[in-house]
Structure 1
Amino acid sequence: MPPHQEPPVNSSVVPFDPDTLPTPLRRLGPHDVLERWRAADRSAHAPHIVAVPGADGEEWAAAALVTARPHTAYLKIVDAVGDVPAAVDAVVSYARRRGLAQVKWEGWTVSAEAAAAVGFAPLRAPLAPAQDADGPGSGYVRWLCDGAVTEPPYYGQTTHFTCGAVTALVAQAHAGTLPWESLDRPAELALWRDATNFPACEPVGLGVAVRRAWPSSPVSVFLDVERPVLLDHCPQGEREWRAVLQRMSRADAGRVGVPIDSRHLPMTAIRSAIGRREHVLLLVSLAGMQGFDVPHWVLCHGVVPGAVVIEDPWANAAAGDTWVDAHLLPVPDASLDAMSTISPDPFRGAVIIGGPGA
């Protein structure tokens, strides 16, 4: 992170307990705002209040509720109350002290003009929210580090099983291969249907489906095991026929010219691919970010110092997680390395998509 000359803001940081709100916060925050803060169980995302003391040292002049997915490199302001610019300055100062890459801000109560006045840029509204997800109509971001990251469209998966298809579609839209307006549910389900191992998309099948959909886009699959994958949750009888489908996918890869690299894909190679303006569809476990060990596809499309920027097509509404968390999400290299080591019998799976004619 580059050095910053601004002095730290005088503030305090206290855990957020929805059942025992601090008295200064209850006096400061509008009832509807505080009720929204308490409506979700945010405990998995380390909710804290960043408070700016008032002149008397007892009351608060400003406060913000901040959360973040675990093992990531950002903070999210859910809302700020009181002297909003002072609250935001305190959050940014707190994020800088922690060496984070980014602060986001959900647009529940803030306008684009007010966000811009304190250095935040608008996020493009999602083309589709994730299934069952609740969230604000707008969001904002302020980067705290060097490095330009271009913004892809945000499209939330509309089922619990189409994450692989969505990451591929968003990658192609970001690359300019697919018009943004073409990201819709028929496109999502059509690509999933061609890639699925019922209902998951395993790496080879996803790579083949991408190549079939966009023949001019170079596609490579990285899978560092020869055995069928993503079958541990299935009964033995189901594993057998799903394994047959995965062997068929490998045969299809040979026919359509999709190479399968059996070497382990390191983080340095993921960074290098992004530097070449390629897109990396990476299979991760949600255990680190969401607390449950479910395999899930994300799109790696940007890098900043110390972190890879991803698109996650799913948000956990029950935890207060929204598209603002999932969009332009910086994840430290070490965290992403751990998340993408899928267990048991660890493996890594990825699909790398190059630009047309590359």
Structure 2
Amino acid sequence: MSSQQETPVKSIVVPFEPGTSPALLSRLGHHEVPERWHTVDRSAHAPHIVAVVGDDGEGWAAAALVTARPHTAYLKIVDAVGDVQAAVAAVVADARGRELAQVKWEGWTARPEDAAAAGFTALDAPLTQSEGAAGPAAGYVRWLCDGVVTEPPYYGQTTHFTCGAVTALVAQAHAGTLPGEALDRRAELTLWRDATNFLACEPVGLGVALRRAWPSSPVTVHLDTDRPVLLDHLPEKEQEWRAVLQRTSRADAERIGVPVDPRHLPMAAIRDAIGRREHVLLLLSLAGMQGFDVPHWVLCHGVVPGAVVIEDPWANAATGDTWVDAHLLPVPDSSLDTMSAISPDGFRGAVTIGRPQRPGTSSSGTAEE
């Protein structure tokens, strides 16, 4: 991760308000403000302008539109105008001052050479983008902390209900168990079909489907309730038959040897699992990051000081959210722990996937006699 330092620049931070920003940005003179700054309501992601003060001490030499999902540990540059290098350096300095883990830069207008000169690394292009969320073709990241986080492929879920299947597939691709070319819509829908509780994937059913698809991958389900889950929003008749399917999934788990741990998986255990090069599929509520309390699966695959790095297969186009936000997303431990309590009664669910076992090894990875 980059430890490159910037030459200090004099900058200011002002809120981005569509009604007043054109007047503020007119100080840049001939520099055109991208129309996309005004095409969506970014207010949920704390939009602000980081501006570099010119040599005269009054005008602006550069500016960047910056946003971020709430309760996360990054900033995202949507665009930089004027003296691009100065604008980006000012954003990085602002992120450092906030002790954030990373700065991202959407590739709408960013040139690869400018990103590289500013210490950013190109993100791999997404295999798909989530339904309705057409983000930029390119994106860049600069880490501001120590550590090594390897990049999984980014695959945006192609339906509103296949987040569980997608996170599992991305985990297996990141582990090398699933060939990259096999990560496609057919695989997404096939795994979802085996795991679904119509329409959601509940933890036990997802764990059972994973074990069936990859028998050599150790799987453990973590679910701190023994009642059916993710059904409270449905009428009683709809809950009843789905509960039958969840009980069947528990019987299948016992039959094929998928442990169901009845305890909550704490952040320390998630960090330990990632340290062992395992993957954690975590069920969380989108209330904190997106503003609505909907259960959603994400993949925990990396750690940095103070934050867990996740892959979110969904982006909220209505707020200007794109795959650049959702990919390699650092979330503070305390925030992620809060998000993982699923209403109405605060249950928690997760699935851990261990490193694939070679024939002739035990679950601990040692050779069998």
TM over 0.5: yes
Matches within 5 A, 1:165-244: 165-244=165-244
Q: State the one-letter code of the partner of 2:244.
A: V
Do 2:221 and 2:352's aligned partners in 1 also have CA atoms closer than 8 Å?
yes
3-state DSSP of counterpart to 2:9: coil
The 8 Å contact of residues 25 and 33 in structure 2, kept in 1 or not, is answered as: no
Q: Could you list the per-position Cα deviations for residues 295-326 of structure 1 after superposition, in whole angstroms to 9, with x for gaps in the alignment?
A: 00000000000000000000000100000000
Q: Distance in 2 between matches of 1:5 and 1:110?
A: 20
Tell me how far 1:82 sits from its aligned partner.
0.2
The match for 1:85 is 85
| Amino acid in structure 1 at the alignment position of 2:336 | L
Structure 1 residue 27: Cα displacement: 4.6
Q: Are residues 264 and 142 of structure 1, via their aligned partners in 2, closer, same or farther at CA, if it must alter by over 3 Å?
A: same
What is the distance in 2 between the residues matched to 1:215 and 1:257? 10
CA RMSD of aligned residues (A): 1.7
Partner of 1:262 in structure 2? 262
Shift of 1:34: 2.9
Shift of 1:28: 2.6
Shift in Å, 1:19: 1.7
Residue aligned with 1:52, SS: strand
- Matched position secondary structure for 1:284: strand
**Change in 2 beyond 3 A, CA 1:103/1:29:** farther
What secondary structure is seen at the aligned counterpart in 1 of 2:91?
helix
Deviations 1:240-280 (A, max 9, x none): 11111000000010111100000111100000000000000
- Separation in 1 of the partners of 2:274 and 2:45? 28
CA deviation after TM superposition for structure 1 residue 22, in Å: 4.8
In structure 1, give the amino acid aligned to 2:98: R
Q: Deviation at 1:232?
A: 0.8
Q: What corresponds to 2:95 in structure 1?
A: 95
Establish whether residue 21 from structure 1 lines up as the match of residue 7 from structure 2.
no
Shift of 1:6: 5.9
What SS class does the counterpart of residue 21 from structure 2 fall into? coil
Post-superposition shift, 1:20? 1.4
| Aligned residue number for residue 354 of structure 2 | 354
Q: Give SS of 2:92's match.
A: helix
The 1:30–1:80 alpha-carbon spacing in structure 2 relative to 1, beyond 3 Å, is: farther
Does residue 310 of structure 2 align to residue 310 of structure 1? yes
| Partner of residue 150, structure 1 | 150
Q: Is the 8 A contact 1:24 1:59 kept in 2?
A: no
Query: Residue 34 of structure 2: SS of its match in structure 1?
Result: helix
Aligned to 2:344: 344
TM-score, normalised on structure 1?
A: 0.97
Question: Structure 1 residues 19 and 34, CA, compared in 2 at 3 Å: closer, same or farther?
Answer: farther
Shift of 1:203: 0.1
SS of match in other structure, 2:220: strand
- Give the equivalent residue in structure 1 for 2:279: 279
Aligned position for 2:160? 160
Letter in 1 for 2:58: E
**Which residue does 1:320 correspond to in 2?**
320
Give the equivalent residue in structure 2 for 1:290: 290
Distance 2:290 2:24 in 1: 31
AA aligned opposite 2:103: V
Aligned length: 358
Instruction: For residue 15 of structure 1, report the CA deviation from its aligned partner.
Output: 0.3
Unaligned runs of 5+ in 2: 358-364
Provide the secondary structure at the position in 2 that maps to 1:318: helix
1:249 aligns with 2:252: no
**TM-score, normalised with respect to structure 2:** 0.94
Alignment-mate amino acid for residue 73 of structure 2: A
**Structure 2: which amino acid aligns with 1:251?**
A
- Structure 1 runs not aligned, ≥5 long: none
**1:49 aligned to 2:49?**
yes
Partners of 2:2 and 2:143 within 8 A in 1: no
Q: Distance in 1 between matches of 2:167 and 2:30?
A: 39
Distance 1:223 1:19 in 2: 47
Percent identity over paired residues: 79
- The whole-number CA distance in structure 2 between the counterparts of 1:70 and 1:8 is 27
How far 1:18 moved relative to its partner? 1.0
Change (3 A) 1:51 1:135: same
Task: Tell me how far 1:114 sits from its aligned partner.
Answer: 1.2
Quote the Cα distance in structure 2 between the aligned partners of 1:341 and 1:194.
25
Amino acid at match of 1:218: P
Secondary structure of 1:79's counterpart equals strand
Residues 15/262 of structure 1: CA separation in 2 closer, same or farther (3 Å cut): same
Taking the aligned partners of 2:104 and 2:144, their CA distance within structure 1 comes to: 11
Contact 1:29 1:81 in 2 (8 A): no
